[in-house]
Structure formats: structure tokens, C-alpha cells
Structure 1
Amino acid sequence: MRKIYLLALVSFLMLNCSSDSSESEPINEQMYFPPSDGSNTWETKSITDLGWNQNAVQPLLDYLELKNTKSFIILVNGRIVMENYFNGHTATTPWYWASAGKTLTTTVTGIAQDEGLININNKVSDYLGTGWTSAPLAKENLITCKNLLSMNSGLNDALGDDVSPANLQYVADAGTRWAYHNVYVKLQDVVAQASGQTWSNYFNTKLRDRIGMTGGAWINNDGLSVYWSTSRNMARFGLLSLNQGKWNGTTIVNSNYFNQATTTSQTLNQAYGYLWWLNGKSSYRLPGLQFEFNGTLMSNAPSDMYAALGKNDQKIYVVPSMKMVIIRMGDVANPDNPTFALSGFDNELWDKINDLYQ
């Protein structure tokens, strides 16, 4: 009799474990990576499979279309859950990343450091020579590659996008002032100089081609190099970022470096890493302002989210706790209030996204 009881108990426990496993399976299943050979193959996962709310899908799509969106993708565990195109955009149409592409520069800078070509703690003039700014030499020599990654170079952010020496003027000592500045692109020159290759060639061979971001390209726009690609290629980079620099078991960039990149990088702006925006901090600063705001960057988004944010609402949201990546490309969501990075659209969009799974 006792044996029968024990067998029944074991069977009951196994059934319950099986049921629990099934409910959590979409999050706990193995991470998927699409092939890197340029094929269009990509596994999918349905809203129903995830146990999400199908009734919340259409309101989200209506909102995205209303807000001038061109493409929207959600990945969970690497699989496509939603992929939608609007306003004449298609899966094969390239679009610009704007400042969301800063994180590509972050990643390639880390790759160059992994290869021993550079050290981000070294001063920029070690690679570019002196005179790359118009700051006094002693002040210029304070600026490290890490300062460029962290946006605390101390150079004047009010002089426009031009990064010629005459336009890179001293305001404060490096490390003492946070300001959103296009001077970060000098890291591309650092990598090119240290590698003996063009920036595009080094980027293509070390990052783009290794994760199958086929067809994307850097295009010069008023002296700045801006990345253009399809939405799926942006999603590939988001998936690499979710996996802390690893792609299907292969290390693209060192995970320790990637963790540093997605952690507060300086004491002036808690919500900023190495060109990545960080949610869940107690305060943040925004481009063009020397003012600290209390509270988290996006109150409606998960606190562990980090994001690549670009002008006119180009977005890569990465949420480790949900093993989720979200991509948004398009025109500015709120034309009356254009911004360089964070916008009111972020919180509004997350309100709609939350309806899918809460």
C-alpha cells in the first residue's frame, strides 16, 4: 500500500513539474540565432505560444502606424514574435539607425580592444596624434577613448555636428562634465588608425559579416558616418547585445567589456553606459541640457532594459529579464517634439507593449 502511495505521489509531482515547465517554456527554451549566411530563415514564436494577449496586438499596430513607424519587430529568445511594416516600408528596405548606431561603434571599439589594437583607457591622441581638437594640449591629453564612449570628453556640445579640430573646443576637463556630443565618432578614426584598415572594412569583417547583417552600410551625412540597414539586421545586432556579445556560442566581443558598456560608465549620468542608455536608474540627463532629472529613464519599461536610441525615434530595446529585443524604425513619432534620443514616444510605446503580456 505504501509503494502505491509513493508511486502516486511521484506521478503527481511529475505532472506538476511538466505543467510548470510548459508554462515557462517560452522564456526558458534555448536561445535561437538565425543563420549568418545571409539567408532569410528565421524561426518564429506566436503570441499564443507565449501566452500573451492577442487582443492587445491590433491596438499596438494601430498606434505604431499612427506614429509614423516604418518597421517594428519583437524577438523573444531570438525568435520573431511580431514583425510588421507600415507606410510603404518593407523587409528589404534599408533605413538609417541615426544615434542608435552609436552602439555599433561601442561594440567595434571593444573588438579592437580584445584584439590588443587599442586600450580604451589610453588618451585619444595616442592614436590620432595631438591637435585632433582645438583644446589646449594639456586639456586634449586628458581625453581618453573611454571619455568618448561615456560622453564626458569636456568638449563643447553646442557647436553642431562638425567634428573637425576647430569645432572641438574645450569647456571643461575630461570626466567632469557629461554632454551628448558627436565627438564619439573619433573612435572610428581610432580603430581605423590602430587596425590599418578603413572603419567600414574593419566593421564589416569583425562584426557585420560575422552575425549576418548583410547589405548594411555606413553612409556619409554632412561629415558624419550614419549606418543604414534593414530592420532584421538591426534585430540581429539587438540579439547579439541580448547575449552580451556572443553569437550562437561564438564570442564577437568580450562579455566583460559588454557588461561595462551596459553599466553606468561615469558619475554624472547614471542612465548612460558606453553609448548605451540604461533604464532603472534613480536619475538621468538628456542631450543638450546640463540638468539632472530624478527618476528612471522610461517608467513604463522594465528596469533592466538598456537601449540604443536615435534621432526621429530609431529604437533598439534589450530586456534581459524577458530575453526580449524590440526594434522600431521610422520617422519621428511626434513631429511637434523631435528629439535626439529619448522621447515621450518611448514611454507611450511601452504602455502599449505592456498590454501584450501583463
Structure 2
Amino acid sequence: MKNWNYTRLIALSIFICSCSKSEENTPIESMYFPANNSSIWETKTTTELGWNENEVQPLLDYLELKNSKSFIVLHNGKIVMEYYFNGHNDNSSWYWASAGKTLTTAVTGIAEEEGHININDKVSDYIGTGWTSLPLAKENLITCKHLLTMTSGLDDSINGIDSASLQYIADAGTRWAYHGVFFKLQDVISQATNQTWNNYFNTKLKNPIGMSGLWLQTVTENVYWSNTRSMARFGLLALNNGNWNGTQIINQNFFTQSINTSQNINLSYGYLWWLNGKSSYHLPSTQFEFNGSIIPSGPNDMFMALGKNDQKIYVIPSRKIVIIRMGNAADNETAALSDFDEVLWQKINAVINP
């Protein structure tokens, strides 16, 4: 009996070792990056991933019902789903709205890495004093980092980023409020690099990752427009921690900081990125603190670029997934966040979690 058990133990050990070697020898799919200046983008199927094909159509029906124009899902860089609605197509441009804030974050990180700026410096070091209507002592409290984290202390009830519109409500760093003043970072970078914002952006971010698109200036903001695949390219850069096919576009330490809690007031906010899975969050235009995660049905490690009328970049590192949604407001809402996110994620989960 002892000999039989010993023999069985040896056989089991051999089996375990062979399985381990087999797993070690199983190739891990490397991150795919589409070539610049090419319409070719490799794909994979939901079947290959073991996703629930039967739930794809209900997801698409919901997206179309909710005024979507485009929807892309990437897994490890490859396109799994790409759909267009309501006359939109892969060449059509659409606005990113506040989802484009994260483009400014990225370029800020690049400018700091190149030694042009330091985000801990006060804004007036770069664009001069008098850029707000605040007393000089209060204005000089505002650093570039405060603009990245929405903690400038400026009055968010007043629209506009001219000096007369930028009025004091609290000391910088003591209050979180969603405010368009972050656009001043583009002026900071332009002054610090002695280049136009567009030129620096194109040279350092847009061209290296093969994006299309352009910035269009309105009265109060600078809005980025592009096709949906360009938004997906930026999402893929974010999924890969600021690295594009072996080239570190955004300093990795800066990028990591940007997708983690940046201050102790709104735990769900990084450097203009929204963060899921935190214990509480604030929404634009309110000082109320909500308990729980922003999107309860969404993955806890998800970070997001969210824009007016439901422009979305969802990045989920644990699943190697990027999801893009462009379109009109799902429910006549205009805020960066709405109930649409929660219902949409319930339907996405039905596909990716069979």
C-alpha cells in the first residue's frame, strides 16, 4: 500500500511539473500598437476571448438607443468591437469635450519631463501675475498641480477663464471644484516651451501615437475633435502607462501619479482623470461627497476620461481593455457623469464576464 501511494505521489509530481512547464512555455500576447499613418488595425473576436456573443446585440441596441455615434473596445490593443451609429463612420470627427482634459494632463507630464515646467511651481511663474482677479498673495498660492487636481480655490459658479471671471472662493488646495481654469496649463506650457500649444501638442503627443484631430477654440475653452480611433489610440497609450510601442511618451512616474488620488478631498480624482473603485467621490457643480464608487458596476481599477454629453474613455488595466464611446447626450444630460455609465457597464459586463 505504501509503495502504491509513493508511486502515485511521484506521478502526481511529474504531472504538476509538466503543467507548470507548459504554462511557462505558453506565449503571453504582447501589447499591440497600430502603425502610424495606417488604417490597418489588427482585430480579435469575442469568441477568441471567451466573451458572451449573445449579449453583444443588446449592448449595441442600448448604445444606439442612447444617441451614440461610435463605440470601440480594445483588448491588449487589438479591436474586438467597433461600431458606428446614426450616420457616423470611422472618418467622422467628434468632440472630446472634457474627456480631452486628459490630453492636457499628458502634455503637462511631457513638458515637466523635458524640464520646461515643474507642476509644484505657481502658475504666475510662467504666465505672470494678474491672470486672476485675486489679491497677489492668494493668486500666488495656485500652482500648476492645483490646476491638474481641480483644487485652485477659484469660484466654479462663474464661467470663463479671463482674469475677471477667475474669482476667489477658497485658498488653493482646500477645496475641490470642477473648473475650466485647467486650460491655463496650456498657456503655461506655451510660455515655458516658447511654442504654440498646438505645435507642442502635435510634436510631443499627437504625431508620435498617430492621432488625427485638432483643437478648436471657443469663447471659454479649447476643445479637441478627432475620429474615434484617435481617441482609442490615446486610450491605448494610457493602458500602457504612457508608453507607445516601446517609446515612453509620458514619464511613467508622472502618469502613475495622474491615475491615482491626487488630493484628500475628492478621492476619485487624479490629474484630470476620474478614478473608479474609491470609497467616495464628488461630482461637478456640487460640494457634496457621495459614498462608494462612481460606477458601481465598473471595475474597481478603472480610470476614466469623461466629457460633456457622455464622451467616454474607460481604461481597465486588470483586463487590458480600453473602451471608447462618442455621441450625443444619452439622456439629455450634459455633465461628465450620468446614470448612463452605470447601465452601460451592466451591459458591458454581460459581454465580457460570461
Give, in whole Å, the separation in 2 of the partners of 1:257 and 1:19: 34
Pair 1:347-2:337 in alignment? no
Name the counterpart of 2:352. 357
Q: What count of residue pairs does the alignment treat as equivalent?
A: 349
Instruction: For residues 155-211 of structure 1, give each alpha carbon's deviation from its aligned partner in whole angstroms, at most 9, with x where no partner exists.
Output: 000011x10000000110000010000000000000000000100000000000000
Letter in 2 for 1:61: L
| 1:29 Cα deviation after fit | 1.4
TM-score, L = length of structure 1: 0.93
Name the counterpart of 2:63. 64
Give, in whole Å, the separation in 2 of the partners of 1:172 and 1:13: 63
| 1:41 Cα deviation after fit | 1.1
Aligned counterpart in structure 2 of residue 334 of structure 1, from 291, 316, 331: 331
Give, in whole Å, the separation in 1 of the partners of 2:20 and 2:86: 47
Letter in 2 for 1:81: V
Aligned counterpart in structure 2 of residue 187 of structure 1, from 171, 185, 188: 185
* Greater alpha carbon shift after TM alignment, 12-21 vs 38-47: 12-21
| 1:223 Cα deviation after fit | 3.4
Give, in whole Å, the separation in 1 of the partners of 2:77 and 2:54: 23
Give, in whole Å, the separation in 2 of the partners of 1:218 and 1:236: 17
Give, in whole Å, the separation in 2 of the partners of 1:254 and 1:156: 32
Letter in 2 for 1:163: I
| 1:19 Cα deviation after fit | 7.8
Specify the SS of the correspondent of 2:208: helix
Name the counterpart of 2:170. 172
Give, in whole Å, the separation in 2 of the partners of 1:77 and 1:7: 38
Specify the SS of the correspondent of 2:31: coil
Give, in whole Å, the separation in 2 of the partners of 1:45 and 1:14: 30
| 1:11 Cα deviation after fit | 6.6
Specify the SS of the correspondent of 1:271: coil
Specify the SS of the correspondent of 1:207: helix
Specify the SS of the correspondent of 2:207: helix
| 1:16 Cα deviation after fit | 7.9
Matches for 1:94-243 after TM superposition, within 5 Å: 94-160=93-159, 162-213=160-211, 215-243=212-240
Query: Gaps (5+ residues) in structure 1?
Result: none
Pair 1:93-2:92 in alignment? yes
Specify the SS of the correspondent of 1:89: coil
Specify the SS of the correspondent of 1:80: strand
Give, in whole Å, the separation in 1 of the partners of 2:23 and 2:266: 45
Give, in whole Å, the separation in 1 of the partners of 2:240 and 2:204: 17
Give, in whole Å, the separation in 1 of the partners of 2:49 and 2:17: 24
- Shift of the 8–134 alpha-carbon distance from structure 1 to 2, 3 Å rule, reads closer
Give, in whole Å, the separation in 2 of the partners of 1:147 and 1:342: 22
Give, in whole Å, the separation in 2 of the partners of 1:327 and 1:53: 19
TM-score, L = length of structure 2: 0.94
Give, in whole Å, the separation in 1 of the partners of 2:219 and 2:69: 24
- Shift of the 342–9 alpha-carbon distance from structure 1 to 2, 3 Å rule, reads same
Name the counterpart of 1:277. 274
Specify the SS of the correspondent of 1:256: helix
| 1:224 Cα deviation after fit | 1.2
Letter in 1 for 2:30: Q
| 1:105 Cα deviation after fit | 0.1
| 1:10 Cα deviation after fit | 4.4
- Shift of the 16–111 alpha-carbon distance from structure 1 to 2, 3 Å rule, reads closer
Name the counterpart of 1:51. 50
| 1:339 Cα deviation after fit | 3.1
TM-align CA RMSD: 2.1
| 1:342 Cα deviation after fit | 1.1
Instruction: For residues 88-117 of structure 1, give each alpha carbon's deviation from its aligned partner in whole angstroms, at most 9, with x where no partner exists.
Output: 000000000000000000000000000000
The structure 1 segments of at least 4 consecutive aligned residues displaced by more than 2 Å after TM superposition are 5-22
Percent same amino acid at aligned positions? 63
Give, in whole Å, the separation in 2 of the partners of 1:311 and 1:244: 25
Name the counterpart of 2:32. 32
Name the counterpart of 2:249. 252
